[in-house]
Amino acid sequence: MLLPLARFWSARGVAAEVTLLDRQKLLSAETRHAFTALRWPVTSVATDVFTWLDQPAPAVDVMFANLFLHEFPDQTLGALLRLAALRTNLFVACEPRRSPLTVAGSHLLGLLGCSRIIRHDRVVSARVGFAAAELSAHWPRVARWELTEQPAGLFSHRFVAKRAAAARSCSAERSGCQWIPVACG
């Protein structure tokens, strides 16, 4: 999800540094090269998300979560989002949408050649995905945030939390603060 956004913004003169966080280092040489070609330095960090969020470090401009948040129970999800809100001015998530259509579509992945394991995982994810304003309900209320939560495509759910003060202070030179096209779904 991030590389197409990097290509979009790079073509418009926006530069960024990217940190990819996962429990394993999964960044391929090909993907690293693609970011480097855009002049977007990329770092892969292998650690637990709570360990990374808990460490003292400077804030980051934007955090993306892709098909990740639905893995957490409500209490843990709330803790994760509270920590994220302390470290960023913009948080964007793309998650499975919880709906009968998403569950039905997940059962049809076999027609595309997906394995039994992938089909099972997608059905489970569709059942525990998000709908309505469920992520907004977990976002902390300690600061002024603009929250947007909506369906994205047929099977996805998009959540955007933007610190209100950050939205007003963004300049054209920082481009991307106000309008971030997120291909989700």
Q: Tell whether the model's pLDDT for residue 183 goes beyond 70.
A: no
**With pLDDT > 90 as the criterion, what percentage of the chain qualifies?**
49
Q: Tell whether the model's pLDDT for residue 171 goes beyond 80.
A: no
pTM (predicted TM-score): 0.82
Q: Which of 146, 143, 140 is nearest to 168 (CA)?
A: 146
Residue 71 is classified by DSSP as G
Q: Which residues contact 81 (CB under 8 A, 6 or more apart)?
A: 91, 135, 138, 139, 140
Per-residue pLDDT, averaged over 12-41, amounts to: 91
Class in CATH terms, 48-174: alpha beta
Q: Which of 65, 111, 70 is nearest to 90 (CA)?
A: 65
- Region of poorest pLDDT, from 34-48, 65-79, 111-125, 168-182: 168-182
Supply 70's token pair. Answer: 């639905």
Supply 178's token pair. Answer: 């106000």
Count of Cβ atoms closer than 10 Å to residue 177 Cβ = 20
- CA 163/CA 49 separation, integer angstroms: 21
Domain limits of the chain?
48-174
